[in-house]
Amino acid sequence: MSRYKNDFLLADSNYLLNHSVGRPLKTIEKAFKESFLSPWQHLAKEPWANWLDVIHNFQLALSSLFNAPAEQFCPQVNLSSSLTKILMSLTSLNKDNVVILMSEIDFPSMGFALQKALPKSADIRFIDKSLDITNANVWQQHLTKDIDLVFVSKAYSNTGQLAPVREVISLAKELGIISVLDIAQSAGVIPLNLQDMSPHFMIGSSVKWLCGGPGAAYLWVNPGIIEQCQPKDVGWFSHENPFEFDIHHFDYNQSAMKFWGGTPSITPFALASHSIDYFATIGASFVRKHNQGMIDLIVDEFDTQVMSPLNKDTRSGTVILDFKDKQTVIMDALSHANISVDARHLGMRVSAHIYNDSDDVQQFIDVVKQHY
Q: Where are the alpha helices (DSSP H) in 133-244?
A: 136-142, 165-175
Q: Does 316 bind ligand PLP (CB under 6 A)?
A: no
Q: Judged by CB under 6 A, which stretch of 63-71, 78-86, 117-125, 238-246 contacts ligand PLP? A: 78-86
Give CA–CA dist 202/56, Å, rounded: 18
Binding test (CB under 6 A) with ligand PLP, winner from 2, 185, 198, 275:
185
Give CA–CA dist 250/239, Å, rounded: 6
Cβ count within 10 A of residue 130:
6
Q: Which class for 56: exposed (0-12), middle (13-18), buried (19 or more C-beta within 10 A)?
A: middle
Q: What angle do CA 238, 100, 133 make, to 5 degrees?
A: 110
Number of residues that bind ligand PLP (CB under 6 A): 13
Give CA–CA dist 284/290, Å, rounded: 10
Residue with smaller CB distance to ligand PLP, 163 or 361: 163
Residue with smaller CB distance to ligand PLP, 87 or 368: 87
Binding mask 115-154 for ligand PLP (x = CB under 6 A): --------------------------------------x-
Is residue 263 within 8 A of residue 75, CB to CB? The reply is no
Q: Does 238 bind ligand PLP (CB under 6 A)?
A: no
Angle between helices 358-370 and 284-302 in degrees, nearest 10: 20
Q: Does 209 bind ligand PLP (CB under 6 A)?
A: no
Residue with smaller CB distance to ligand PLP, 47 or 215: 215
Binding mask 85-104 for ligand PLP (x = CB under 6 A): --------------------
Q: Judged by CB under 6 A, which stretch of 65-73, 107-115, 311-319, 363-371 contacts ligand PLP? A: 107-115
Q: Does 78 bind ligand PLP (CB under 6 A)?
A: yes
Binding test (CB under 6 A) with ligand PLP, winner from 28, 79, 118, 319:
79
Sorted by sequence, the CB contacts under 8 Å of residue 52 that are 6+ apart come out as none
3-state secondary structure at position 350: strand
Q: Does 229 bind ligand PLP (CB under 6 A)?
A: no
Q: Does 205 bind ligand PLP (CB under 6 A)?
A: yes
Site residues (CB under 6 A) for ligand PLP? 78-80, 107, 109-110, 153, 157, 182, 184-185, 205, 217
